[in-house]
Each structure stands twice: as C-alpha cells, then as structure tokens.
Amino acid sequence: MNTRTKVIVTRRLPEPVQDRLNTLFDARLNLSDKPMPHAELIEAAANCDVLAPTVTDHIDDKVIRAGAGRLKLIANFGAGTDHIDLDTAAKAGIAVTNTPGVLTEDTADLAMALILAVPRRLAEGARVMRAGDFPGWSPTWMMGHSIGGKKLGIVGMGRIGQAIARRARAFGLEIHYHNRNRVSAAIEEELGALWWDDLDAMLANTDIISVNCPKTPQTHHLLSRDRLSKLPHHAFLVNTSRGDVIDEIALADLLENGSLAGAGLDVYEREPEVEPRLLMLDSVVALPHMGSSTIEARIAMGEKMIINIKEFEDGHRPPDRVIQELT
C-alpha cells in the first residue's frame, strides 16, 4: 500500500522541481502544461493530500469543499493567493502556503526595464528595425525622454517596491511612494523616499508611476479612470503587480487620446485576454506576464513549495503558511 503523501501539481514546473517532487512524494504532474478545467480541479482536490496550484487556477469554495476530509494542504506555487478562497480553506481546516520573497529581485529587474524602455521608446525602435524601416540617424528622429531627475511614484512599498526604489535611485530618479502603512524612517532614509498619504496628490506630482500592490478587494481598480486622469499628460505608467489594480479600458482610452504618454505592462485585467488597443499603441510596451520568469526564480519557487510540503508532512509548521482569520 502506498503511504507516501499524494501531491497533485496543476501545471508543469521546471524539471529539477518535478524531479524533486517525484523523489519525495507520490506526485501527480501535469506534463501537458494546460490549465486544469474547474471540474478537474474539483476531482484533484478530492483525491490528494496536497494540492499544488498556480495563479492560473481558481481554487474556489467548490474545489476546497471537494477536498474536505482528505486534502490537508494547498501549497501554492507563487506568492499571490488571491485565486484561493482562504476563508473556506480555513473553515475546512486546510492549510495554505505560498512562496514569498524569491520573486522580488527578478520582478524588480523587469519593472526597472520597463521604466527605462517606455520613455526611451525601446520596443518601438526594435519594431522599426525588424520591419526594415530604419532610415538612418537623424537629430530629431525617435526621441524619447531621459529618466534622470524625474519623479517616480511607487504604489505599494513592500519588498518589490523597495527593490525597484533601490534600482531607480541609482538611475537618478526621485523616489516617492504611497503605501497603506508608512515604512520605517530607516528605509525612507536609505531610499531617499518621500511618503504620500494621499495617493491622488502623489499621482498628480509624479512623472512615472510603478504599481506594485497586491490584489485585494481594496485594490481592485485602485487606479480608476478618475485616478488615472490625475496623472500629468507627460507621465508614464508601469504595472508588474496585478492587472485589475488598473481600469484597463480607462488606461487604453487615456493613452489613445494622448492624456498619458505611455505604459509598460506585464499584467492584465482579464489575462490572457488583453484590451486590443494596448497592443496597437506604439506608446505601450506589453509583456506576457514574465516578471518572475527566470530559471532561477522558478526553481527557487519550487524549492520553497517543496519545503512547505515537507515541513507540513513531518508535522511541523510550514515556514510560509498563509494565515487567514476565521470570520
């Protein structure tokens, strides 16, 4: 009789992670890498000890209730848990873990790349070259904007926001931030960061906005049409957090009519669908949700996930347990 912990993984993971899962557990892997339909997620939850989902899986109350009795742990591959019904999991006595911290530097690198790419029109220039439309150097052709001395407004000053601030400061940007709670005086001093209690006021006084807050009911459309309209017309917006923090239709409208200078986007409100106008505008650099898409980060995520499973299996508290208060 197989007494090993049965783990069902919903997407294909890097090979070293899958090899490790097979060694340690009775692992069922998704080698096709196609998202599981909801009915398959329900079946999986009912037939495993540990479910290892990703951001593409909607782990709602139906999935969790199907697992009640056998399912003991939802070991998420990723830091965000907004796709998991944490309340229902807590009431069912099912623990939830995530993989925080290991994505910080790679996501900050990508955000900084977009902060550079959008004002300097790098993606637009690359498209010109690929199309064979380069007419030769000209003093006034393909002029962008420098970023040194500009004001960067960071919305969400957690790990990633702070990592972006460190990079941006090295490029000569002034650091401004809005956060639910003010960071420590030591961090503000290190980053040369100015806190704004009023998000609307910060938006009106910055040149580049970097969005780095988590998805919660409170942050849905945090940057609404009204708030986006407060940005100066010369401002650029970068989002590497969650798509629905921004009203995507409103963003497209403002970019299309010239009320915003440009945007760098790695996440979208209705992924994998994207507002078509955002893909047509030269002022937009659109990436396919690749903020943490490095070999190193994805393997580190897998290692964290495995540690959480192993610690839980051994009767210990997983280091990355997500705490949800029962209501």
| CA–CA separation, 245 and 241 (whole Å) | 8
Contact 45, 67 (CB under 8 A): yes
Over residues 259-316, the pLDDT tens digits come to 999 999 999 999 999 999 999 999 999 999 999 999 999 999 999 999 999 999 999 9
Domain count, the chain: 2
Question: What digits encode the pLDDT tens for the residues 26-64?
Answer: 999 999 889 999 999 999 999 999 999 998 899 999 999
Mark whether 28 is an active-site residue. no
Active site residue 12: no
280 shares its domain with 302:
no
Same domain, 126 and 272: yes
pLDDT tens digits, 168-222: 999 999 999 999 999 999 999 999 999 999 999 999 999 999 999 988 889 999 9
Give domain status of residue 186, yes or no. Answer: yes
Residue 318 counted as domain residue:
no
Which pLDDT value is given to residue 2?
A: 64
At position 247, the amino acid (one-letter code) is D
State which residues form the domain around 20: 6-102+295-313
Domain for residue 322, yes or no? no
The model's pTM is 0.90
Residues 72 and 218 in one domain: no
Q: Does position 326 have pLDDT exceeding 90, yes or no?
A: no
C-alpha 44, offset from chain centre: 26
Tell me, yes or no, whether 172 and 234 share the same domain: yes
Cis check for the bond before 135: say yes or no (omega within 30 of 0): no
Residue 319 within any structural domain of the chain: no
Q: What is the mean pLDDT of residues 116-133?
A: 96
289 is catalytic: yes
Q: Are residues 276 and 308 in the same domain?
A: no
Structure tokens belonging to residue 249: 């239709």
Considering the domain architecture, whether residues 231 and 241 belong to the same structural domain is answered as yes
Residue 320 counted as domain residue: no
Task: Indicate which residue of 40, 190, 271, 303 is catalytic.
Answer: 271
The better pLDDT of the pair 324, 317 is held by: 317
41/167 same-domain check: no
The Cα 25–Cα 5 span in angstroms is 5
Mean per-residue pLDDT of the chain? 95
- For residue 1, being part of any structural domain is answered with no
Share of the chain above pLDDT 90, in %: 93
Catalytic residue among 12, 289, 311, 321: 289
Whether 217 and 260 map to the same domain: the answer is yes
